[in-house]
Amino acid sequence: MRGSIGIIDSGVGGLTVAKEILQRLPTESVIYIGDRERCPYGPRPAEEVREYTIEMATALSKMGIKMLVIACNTATAVALEEVRKLFSFPIIGVITPGARAAVNATKTGKIAVLGTIGTIKSSAYDKEVLNLLPDATIIPLACPEFVPIVESGQYKSEFASEVVKRTLHAIVDKDFDAAILGCTHYPLLESYIQTHLPDHVKIISSAIETARDVEQTLLVNGIGNLSKSHKKPVFFTTGSPEDFLEIVVDWLSIEEPDVRHIEL
């Protein structure tokens, strides 16, 4: 598994990033770790999130990855800089790409940020957006019920729609024209989020922008896979491989994916 792109997340949410990377860079090999056993990360203390993030990065480092994507907004917010100090390969997060996409999309400079408790509390998106657009207005909203819905596989249910509607009620009457999905689990609820926000609001997922950053990072560092052959993606989970496999098949449309259990 040497020479692969490593991707880590608190659970299945980072599959939204993995999907974009696999589509944009079809010759690259991917190894994914989803820490479903300890998900969600959002309500956890920052020190715990840092510890878990380092554990996943270390496991992938031992497998010989060439770069790492922290595809979890909470982990990116509290652990990115610390993890970068520990490893020699390039490491990127999902917050900067998401903020950049939102700034490019907004016409009014008024941007909502939907995220976990940890991400919203960190103000990481606020800082990134304001760095790019100093006059921006940020409307943050913690959505603690979203991740459990996705992790339990209920993201296509009527219950999910009801929870999204109830959660977004707090900001639906506010003035903004872009909404950042500040958690990689949230794109799995995007249809409901779009339905329960005004039609003019543009939904921003960091996944597409992150895949572009991965491509650029490979190019700048001269570590892209120049051959046309690549290994099949490998997905590790600290939870049940059977449950994880179902979501991989549904979301990435991969037949008989290689899903394995891992102890961290």
CATH of the domain at 163: 3.40.50.1860
Note whether 104 and 196 are same-domain residues: yes
Note whether 197 and 242 are same-domain residues: no
Query: What span, in angstroms and rounded, lies between the C-alpha atoms of 43 and 119?
Result: 9
Note whether 224 and 247 are same-domain residues: yes
Beta-strand relationship, 30-34 and 178-182: unpaired
pLDDT of residue 2: 75
Query: What span, in angstroms and rounded, lies between the C-alpha atoms of 247 and 252?
Result: 8
Note whether 155 and 226 are same-domain residues: no
Query: What span, in angstroms and rounded, lies between the C-alpha atoms of 230 and 86?
Result: 28
Last residue of a domain, one of 187, 206, 225: 206
Burial of 220 (0-12, 13-18, 19+ CB in 10 A): exposed
Task: Show pLDDT as tens, one digit a residue, over the chain (264 residues).
Answer: 679 999 999 999 999 999 999 999 999 999 999 999 999 999 999 999 999 999 999 999 999 999 999 999 999 999 999 999 999 999 999 999 999 999 999 999 999 999 999 999 999 999 999 999 999 999 999 999 999 999 998 999 999 999 999 999 999 999 999 999 999 999 999 999 999 999 999 999 988 889 999 999 999 999 999 877 778 999 999 999 999 999 999 989 888 999 999 999
Note whether 131 and 200 are same-domain residues: yes
pTM of the predicted protein model: 0.90
Kindly list the catalytic residues: 72, 183
Note whether 55 and 43 are same-domain residues: yes
pLDDT of residue 1: 67
Note whether 74 and 117 are same-domain residues: no
Note whether 135 and 108 are same-domain residues: yes
Q: Which two tokens stand for residue 54?
A: 């380092």
Q: Which two tokens stand for residue 259?
A: 């899903």
What is the domain range of residue 79? 5-93+208-261
Note whether 57 and 106 are same-domain residues: no
Q: Total structural domains in the chain?
A: 2
Contact 6, 63 (CB under 8 A): yes
pLDDT of residue 86: 98
Q: Rounded to 5, what percent of the chain is helix, strand, coil?
A: 45, 15, 35
Q: Which two tokens stand for residue 220?
A: 């700048």
Note whether 194 and 229 are same-domain residues: no
Note whether 101 and 193 are same-domain residues: yes
Note whether 62 and 155 are same-domain residues: no
Amino acid letter, 255: E
> pLDDT tens, 210-232?
999 999 999 999 999 987 777 89
> pLDDT tens, 172-195?
999 999 999 999 999 999 999 999
pLDDT of residue 81: 95
